[in-house]
Amino acid sequence: MNNIPHNESIAWLFQQALDKKLTSDVSKHHKDNLRHVFNHFMRFLEEAGREMSIRELTTSKIEEFLLRYNSSATHYMNKRRDLNVLFNLSARMIDETLTAGKKTETRKIKATLHLAYDKEQLQPVLGFLKANHTNLYRCCLMTYGCLLRPHEEIRLLTQKHFKANNTEIHLAGTENKGGRVRVVYVPEYVREELEPVLKKLTREDNIFSGCEAPFNQAYFSKQWSREKKKLLSHGLVYPKQTLYSFRHTAAIDVFRRTKDVYMVQKMMGHSSVVVTLKYLRSLGEFNTEELKAAAPVL
């Protein structure tokens, strides 16, 4: 192998790229994904490959690695995206345009719908959860009533996030996916459930764990998986209905009552109305024929 400057090796550049991302203002989930793809890719390259110049890294070599994640298009594309984040940042460090990562094969991801709940399902499902798993019930209630995301927004809520006599939840830009300060209205039925809990907590206490340390990232996913088996056996939910289905159901309810896309955007915390339109279309609230029918005529 040709001798190359140490600071042009794949291992050195990818490590610098990873370190930069780990100290940046991105979500913990994204940081974890980058850390995982870095570790897996370094093991895949082995010692000789890690010491190669990044210029020697070929599209075929990257694709060989990505084929390890061939179980689904989503899994493959997620790994491709994460690896390209590190690759592209590494290329910028040596001030060169390298295209090996961009040339790798892409896969078309089929949208996976979190099937919305029917109106007649909501009360029985929430009633079952209230009787069987208090924390999960409160999470689902806020996912629906406040339209917050369960795993990264609701799971991390503390007493200090509740303002204006508990009628509002205030999230900093680093605490929500949209990256902007977000103020969320808390409906009365959510306040009635949470106020007895909030009174017992100090400002820094998490509303689910009751102490400063929140439950781990997989907490609600695991609890939902367990309770969903019971919900299915009772005929209360359908297989494609998930924790996120509460948020989707709320978005549909708001849109059908208001017919205001901008209101839905604001309540969902989407970065743009384009995201909201795609979201509503994926939920079946828009279709091509409806858009054609609404088009201006001369």
pLDDT at residue number 235 = 93
Greater confidence (111 vs 195) lies with 195
Q: Is a pLDDT exceeding 90 seen at residue 237?
A: yes
Q: Is a pLDDT exceeding 60 seen at residue 191?
A: yes
DSSP string, 250-278: HHHHHHHHH--HHHHHHHHT-SSHHHHHH
pLDDT category of residue 288 using cuts at 50, 70 and 90: low
pLDDT at residue number 1 = 43
Helix pair angle (219-233, 119-132), 10° resolution:
110
Give the separation between CA 73 and CA 81, rounded to whole angstroms.
Answer: 12
Q: Give residue-wise pLDDT tens across range 90-148.
A: 999 999 889 999 999 998 766 556 788 988 999 999 999 999 999 999 999 999 999 99
pLDDT at residue number 11 = 94
What's the 3-state SS for 67-111? Answer: HHHCCCHHHHHHHHHHHHHHHHHHHHHCCCCCCCCCCCCCCCCCC
Give the separation between CA 8 and CA 6, rounded to whole angstroms.
Answer: 5
Q: Is a pLDDT exceeding 70 seen at residue 220?
A: yes
Six-digit token pair at 41? 């890719």
pLDDT category of residue 75 using cuts at 50, 70 and 90: confident
Intrachain domains 6-93 and 119-286 with the same fold: no
Residue ranges of the alpha helices (H) in 205-244? 219-233
The CATH architecture of the domain made up of 119-286 is: Orthogonal Bundle (1.10)
Topology adopted by domain 6-93: DNA polymerase; domain 1 (1.10.150)
pLDDT at residue number 295 = 59
* Stretch 198-203: mean pLDDT: 96
Q: Is a pLDDT exceeding 50 seen at residue 86?
A: yes
Six-digit token pair at 2? 């040709």
Six-digit token pair at 148? 């917050």
- 107, 77 in Cβ contact below 8 A? yes
pLDDT at residue number 122 = 94
- Show me where the domains of the chain are located: 6-93, 119-286
Indicate the Cα dihedral angle 37, 111, 175, 22, nearest 10°.
Answer: 10
Percent of the chain exceeding pLDDT 90 equals 63
Q: What is the pTM of this model?
A: 0.66
- 171, 182 in Cβ contact below 8 A? yes
Give the separation between CA 4 and CA 241, rounded to whole angstroms.
Answer: 53
162-163 β-sheet, strand order = 162-163, 168-171, 182-185
pLDDT category of residue 175 using cuts at 50, 70 and 90: confident
Six-digit token pair at 95? 């001030």
Q: Is a pLDDT exceeding 70 seen at residue 287?
A: no
Q: What is the CA 31 to chain-centroid distance, rounded? A: 13
Q: Is a pLDDT exceeding 90 seen at residue 268?
A: no
Beta bridge partners of 184: 169
Q: How confident is the prediction for the chain on average, in pLDDT?
A: 88
Give the separation between CA 190 and CA 184, rounded to whole angstroms.
Answer: 12
